[in-house]
A and B are shown apart, each in its own frame.
Chain A
């Protein structure tokens, strides 16, 4: 394997690792807090919101937006580290 290819493989590995972490959070806030554990979380309240219901109709969406911007930042840094930035 050439140096060129080694670099590309290492970049791809780091990228995939980020994806796993970010998608785990994506799954936890929507399918976890908003659906699977909704009933348990609904025992707690923030203001007028039951917590499970809040995640399903508000919280998960906020987290989605934040996740994409974190991804943008991480990838911009990664591109620079490997010299792939444009």
Chain B
């Protein structure tokens, strides 16, 4: 009897081991991409469309193309609640599954993961957020923050304002106020704005708003007093909605109120309704759902009942931004496969792919987003220096309209600042910058 039990036990154990081995073998043929998302908590209204964009693009790649070059992509979400500590726990949980990239989806989490991913050899993709000076690839080989950083964005905003004022020379004496989320993220643009203020002679006022930004009366009283010509806002979540509503109630001209690309979604303008008409925001992609990519999403994802959210919302700004994030992961994975002849690229191979990413007009056409400018990353320039677009809210039609050309960033101004900051980081952390040819 005992022998029989022992035999059964051994057989069961062997069977289980084989099952695990089979599962590992299958996993080895799949590309794993995790999503650090926040569908809950105070920032969920923004986190949810973003996460839906992540999920839907991976579903599209699997359903339409059978994966990346035929290799299935496995997507797994980890809920962070936009909480840095939880985000780090998510990373620790997911890193053993060999993710090809980590997208932290928060500047706070980014700062925590920069040293960790460098040790673990996993590329960290922080599109349009995170540590700006991580664009210096010689110091931050594992971090990529293309298509543009907060600092570059700030230069484009000032260029945009200058365009409205009749040229950069006309900025002299103008009053520009930066309202910012009192966090690492919100403060990112301040040094650039201060440098621009010195260079072009406009008077800069910096006004911080504490998390979550539900109550901003003191901030707007100061705006009333200082009477700025232009307001630039680096907000997030409810801070944006309250600010836009306060500006409208105060009668501030909305076309002189410019949000950064995290202050320019449909969520931000909804509560102010007609009062938000004319509010303007920066963006690094076009708004709207009339692209070939959207047609494919409807056909291969939503018509099959596989969509992450509501099909009527796939033209929204934050959803599109979620798509763009994984478009870049997929393009890099494709490049790594081609270069190394592997099905599932490892971290180092992905890092090479990001550093040699060159998304041309033809690539954008193939992706389904025709008309986007070329995006080129290099060993030392992980930002790529993508130009910035400006969109304006039409409250009547309830949609964003593009109101500018792609406005170039002032690379000559921000790049030396990035290099100085990166050098400081390297010194503090005893990093020897690598040589980029």
Q: Do A and B come from one complex?
A: no
